[in-house]
Structure 1
Amino acid sequence: MDQLESYIENHTTDEDELLYQLNRETHLKTYYPHMLSGKVQGKFLEMVIHMLQPQSILEIGTFTGYSALSMAKALPEGGILYTIDNNEEIESFARRFFDKAPYGKKIRFILGDARAVIPDLDETFDLVFIDADKNHYPDYYELALRKLRKGGFILADNVLWGGKVVENNSHPDKETRGVMAFNELVKNDSRVEQVILSVRDGLMLIRKL
């Protein structure tokens, strides 16, 4: 962590004890702990939920559940957050922390491929958070937009992809291609307006018109 990132961390409200333990266990027990949203992004997501007061949230990509818990913490009473992940190995990990949280009952975990699951969800969402396989971002976006209410929001993580989106590389990997295709798709989509925020690895905030 460089000096500026450390400064940002130190001037952001600390995560609660449950999120701290989840953060710690993720770093101790998983192969890719960098996939965790973490303190700053988690608090940002929580603040967004406080501001928007959505009743229904769709999360595409659960990992160990940090972002889901951060959003559920601020979700109004009666609100529901559906979170989808296709990794069976993290299901019990995430569910254990969902069960510990007093607001965990607001979360509905679905194991499966989001591209197959989303069309069958009988729900219209106020907010969608996309943070799963980067090569499938364009697919997730189109599916999410169909389930999003007019005036609703999509948040997409990792849209800067470690700076690879601006590298002069004639043969980018499939994840980079997916992120770049997604960014261009949104940029040229008259159904929405958007802004990229330099939070962590880049967050795109999209509003459906």
Structure 2
Amino acid sequence: MHFLSDTLHSYIKQHSEEEPKLLKELTRETHLKVIQPRMITGHFQGRVLSLLSKITAPKTILEIGTYTGYSAICLAEGLQKKGQLHTIDVNEELYNMQRTYFDKSGFGKQITQHLGDAVTIIPEIDATFDLVFIDAEKTQYDAYFEAVIKKCRSGSVILSDNVLWSGKVIEPLQKSDKATEVLLKYNKKLKEDPRVETVLLPIRDGLTLCRVL
């Protein structure tokens, strides 16, 4: 489902911050070399993530779902000088590509890559998270959320991507569609969870912003 026309989307990009040259290069390489390049965060949402990070000025960021590293670089733009970003992914084939662009970005020393299951890795990270970005296996969203909220403080921000799931959340649910079923429950939970205050933003494929109380 296309929420906005191509013309309107183009207008939005034209009136938002420019996409950094390095991220344009990363987008091009992702489309040339990586399966499912549409998964990359992209210009507009990337600038949203960057600005949210700059507003919150986090000391520690956690990202679940690295892909080729685009969103991690956007989030790192708001890190404090001695801040740290931890990013977790299961695809070891993308590890070197991520590292190449992290180092080119100037944030390389502040970004730590983790390979494996996020639910297992998160408790092992010795940090309190000021900003979290969840963008990995949709059927695990609830498990990710429960793992991270235990390591957040009051005022921490948790972002969840793809929560509109190409509009499937408002279509008749197919019995075989586990991802949509999980996201429907997840969206309802975030709205009702007394531990957070929540706004679902119609940005790209849906981005939920939660502030920990």
Task: Give the AA of the match of 2:55.
Answer: M
1:85 aligns to 2:71 (yes or no): no
Q: For the residues of structure 2 that align with 1:170 and 1:39, how far apart are their CA atoms?
A: 32
Which structure 1 residue ranges, 5 or more long, are not aligned?
none
Q: Aligned partners of 1:73, 1:191: CA distance in 2, in Å?
A: 28
Q: Deviation string for 1:30-59 (max 9, x for gaps)?
A: 111111010101111110111111101100
How many correspondences in the alignment? 209
**TM-score normalised over the length of structure 2:** 0.94
**Structure 2: stretches of 5+ with no match in the other structure:** none
* CA distance in 1 between partners of 2:13 and 2:107 (Å): 25
1:175: how far off? 1.6
Deviation at 1:172, TM superposition (A): 5.0
User: Which deviates more from structure 2 when the two are superposed, residues 63-72 or residues 87-96?
Assistant: 87-96
Measure the CA separation in 2 of the matches of 1:81 and 1:57.
5
Correspondence for 1:147 among 135, 140, 151: 151
1:202 matched to 2:206? The reply is yes
Point out the more displaced range, 178-187 or 119-128. Answer: 178-187
AA aligned opposite 2:34: T
User: What displacement does 1:74 show?
Assistant: 2.3
CA contact (8 A) 1:72 1:104 kept: no
For the aligned residues, what is the CA RMSD? 1.2
Deviation for aligned residue 1:184: 1.6
Q: Give the drift of 1:169.
A: 2.2
Q: Identity over aligned residues, as a percent?
A: 49
Question: Cα distance, 1:18 vs. partner?
Answer: 0.9
Are residue 157 (structure 1) and residue 184 (structure 2) matched?
A: no
177-186 or 125-134, which deviates more? 177-186
Structure 1 consecutive aligned stretches of length 4 or more whose deviation exceeds 4 Å: none
Q: 1:199: Cα distance to partner? A: 0.8
- Could you say which residue in structure 2 is the equivalent of 1:8? 12
Aligned position for 2:60 = 56
Task: Give the TM-score, by structure 1 length.
Answer: 0.96
- Answer yes or no: is 1:69 the counterpart of 2:70: no
* Contact kept in structure 2, 1:69 and 1:104, CA below 8 Å: no
